[in-house]
């Protein structure tokens, strides 16, 4: 593929994401259901799994204990839910190759509907080992696992009522260095276990253990990043069921902080995306949006 062709392909992906978001926003009332939507999706979360493909760049290990706090309010909840979810978390680089993370999801009523209340809905913890891309190792890879569980008794629309163990392996490679074009793939599993809460699966959400193959492209432009990801999830390998879920998801990631003096410690990222999903419950179209804020903290230990 020539550089000119790759430019056209990525411009087309950006246009598709923008036009999809604009069109589906007008068709939201027809395409969304009253229940929970398909399993949660956050392109920034997927990029965090990949080696050297974080939406804010890789955490550096030049300090003894690099640490980043983040928050990512779900803007789509203003339209689709009675509550606004606000996950807050932290990522820490223990060594140049080992990263751990933790996240707590809070919720509160946004006032646009009749529901009222606030509390904690979900807890997530994870660990990742990665080998980043380099001139001697052009293919980066990572392996890790996440665990998440519902907390307390949140509103039914905010949880599927299950705990999830999510091991994964991921790969990324720079396909066109001059164009900042990166290809990525991930293979993951989702092992479900019951919690004290009743089950509440959303539309096109698989009801048993499953595996997921994700592959896509991402490219950095001067003022934004675009990504196009295809996903295939199936229960055929890890359960007695035989259900499949296919999705195509374009995303645009727009950094809103570009001040060189502040961008190394504070980041603000605006994410818009669309989805086209086909699964056991039919075809689903929709849009999503979120804001992600990160604050970097570098502790230093002075030699005596």
Q: What is the pLDDT along the chain (304 residues), one digit of tens a residue?
A: 554 545 554 454 444 444 444 434 433 433 343 344 445 567 878 888 888 665 555 444 344 457 889 998 887 777 777 888 899 999 998 988 999 999 999 998 877 777 668 899 999 999 999 988 777 777 899 999 999 999 988 888 888 999 999 999 999 998 888 888 999 999 999 999 999 999 999 889 999 999 999 999 999 888 899 999 999 999 999 999 999 999 999 999 998 876 544 445 778 889 899 999 999 999 999 888 888 888 877 655 444 4
Give the pTM: 0.79
Q: Where are the domains of the chain?
A: 3-299
Distance (Å, whole) CA 73 – CA 85? 6
What integer pLDDT is reported at residue 242 of this predicted model?
93
Distance (Å, whole) CA 164 – CA 167? 10
CB 82 within 8 A of CB 108: no
61 φψ region: left (φ > 0), alpha (ψ -120 to 50), beta (else): alpha
In CATH, the number for domain 3-299 is: 2.40.160.40
What integer pLDDT is reported at residue 130 of this predicted model?
92
Give 89's Cβ-side CA count (13 Å radius): 21
Alpha-helical runs (H) found in 27-101: 28-31, 43-49, 77-80
Instruction: Give the torsion sign (CA, 47, 48, 52, 55).
Output: positive
Q: Which residues pair with 229 in a beta bridge?
A: 216, 249
What integer pLDDT is reported at residue 245 of this predicted model?
96
What integer pLDDT is reported at residue 37 of this predicted model?
46
How distant is the alpha carbon of residue 204 from its chain centre? 18
Residue 159, token pair as written in the block: 């949880």
Nearest one of 72, 20, 83 to 44, comparing CA atoms:
72
Distance (Å, whole) CA 188 – CA 210? 9
Distance (Å, whole) CA 295 – CA 278? 37
Q: Which residues pair with 253 in a beta bridge?
A: 225, 271
Going through 94-180 in order, the beta strands assigned E by DSSP cover 98-109, 118-131, 139-150, 162-176
CB 107 within 8 A of CB 88: no
DSSP letter assigned to residue 56: T
């Amino acid at each position: 593929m020539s550089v000119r062709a790759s430019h056209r392909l990525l411009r087309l992906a950006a246009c598709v994401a923008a036009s999809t978001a604009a069109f589906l926003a007008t068709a939201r009332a027809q395409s969304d259901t009253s229940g929970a939507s398909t399993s949660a999706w956050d392109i920034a979360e997927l990029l965090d799994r990949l080696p050297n493909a974080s939406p804010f760049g890789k955490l550096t290990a030049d300090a003894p204990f690099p640490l980043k706090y983040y928050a990512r309010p779900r803007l789509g909840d203003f339209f689709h839910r009675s509550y606004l979810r606000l996950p807050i978390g932290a990522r820490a680089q223990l060594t140049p190759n080992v990263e751990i993370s933790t996240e707590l999801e809070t919720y509160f009523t946004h006032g646009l509907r009749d529901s009222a209340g606030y509390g904690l809905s979900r807890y997530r913890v994870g660990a990742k080992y990665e080998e980043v891309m380099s001139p001697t190792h052009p293919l980066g890879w990572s392996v890790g696992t996440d665990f998440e569980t519902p907390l307390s008794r949140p509103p039914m629309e905010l949880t599927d009522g299950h705990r999830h163990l999510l091991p994964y392996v991921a790969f990324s490679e720079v396909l066109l260095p001059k164009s900042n074009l990166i290809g990525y793939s991930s293979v993951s599993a989702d092992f479900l276990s019951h919690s004290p809460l009743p089950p509440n699966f959303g539309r096109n959400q698989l009801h048993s253990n499953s595996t997921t193959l994700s592959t896509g492209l991402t490219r950095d432009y001067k003022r934004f990043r675009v990504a196009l990801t295809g996903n295939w999830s199936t229960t055929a390998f890890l359960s007695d069921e035989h259900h499949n879920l296919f999705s195509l998801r374009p995303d645009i990631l727009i950094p809103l902080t570009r001040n060189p003096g502040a961008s190394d410690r504070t980041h603000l990222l605006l994410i818009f995306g669309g989805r086209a999903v086909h699964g056991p419950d039919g075809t689903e179209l929709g849009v999503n949006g979120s804001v992600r804020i990160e604050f970097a903290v570098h502790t230093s230990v002075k030699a005596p």
